[in-house]
Amino acid sequence: MPHEIFELLRADNTIYANRTLAAAIGLNEAVIYSALLGKEHYYRNMNQLDGEDMFYATASDIEEKTTLTQRQQERAIGHLENFGLITTQVKGLPAKKYFRINPDTEVILKLLREKPKKTPGGGKDNNSDSGSNDSDTSGGEQPEIVQESRGDGETSFNKTSKLVLTFR
């Protein structure tokens, strides 16, 4: 029976976020970053990125994928830009927000290693209206991040944790 419940709840209603990244930059940021990575991956595979390797996503698209409101999205997207993980640009008529994922793995590795715990610029926690992001959301010691270069030219990252949120 538990396996059936697991299968039922994870089907098409799962939000993925890296737990180590969430601890470093905030849960909302990690959830949106994961959703944007998925969207970028889809557009890249469909050969639909624009000439600047950008893709668009509406607030309603992101809310559908993450359950985050437009205000939460705006705050988290601003933080992702400040962390250097993404860039955004408003283009076209009607205007749409376009996103580019920073392909430099060193940026994300630095965040994972340093675990800043606060928003860029020293502001408040980005996932609530009060309090700080000083709690360890992993329930224990954070895993070490190891970058490995494989012989085929690909880079892999080992020993990262995942946080999986399921909504019904």
The pTM of this model reads 0.68
Report pLDDT for 10. 61
Tell me what pLDDT residue 22 has.
Answer: 94
The number of domains in the chain is: 1
Q: Which pair of tokens denotes residue 106?
A: 């060193």
Say which amino acid occupies 101: I
CB 37 within 8 A of CB 15: no
Per the CB < 8 A criterion, the answer to whether 117 and 134 are in contact is yes
Are 25 and 121 in contact by the 8 Å Cβ rule? The answer is no
Structure confidence at residue 5 (pLDDT)? 74
Reported for 97-101, long-range contacts at CB under 8 A and 24+ positions apart, including other chains, are 97/56, 97/57, 97/58, 97/59, 98/50, 98/52, 98/54, 98/55, 98/56, 99/36, 99/39, 99/40, 99/54, 99/55, 99/56, 99/57, 100/52, 100/53, 100/54, 100/55, 101/36, 101/37, 101/40
Q: What is the dihedral sign for C-alpha 49, 145, 166, 118?
A: negative
The range of the structural domain enclosing residue 140 comes to 2-166
What is the pLDDT, as a whole number, of residue 14?
77
pLDDT value of position 19: 92
- Taking the C-alpha atoms of residue 145 and residue 157, their distance in angstroms, rounded to an integer, is 7
Residues of the chain with pLDDT under 50: 122-162, 166-168
> For residues 29 and 76, is the Cβ–Cβ distance under 8 A?
yes
Distance CA 63, CA 17 (A): 15
pLDDT at residue number 165: 52
Q: For 131-152, how does the pLDDT look when each residue is reduced to its tens digit (9 = 90+)? A: 333 333 334 444 444 444 444 4
Give the residue from 26, 12, 15 showing the smallest Cα distance to 66.
15
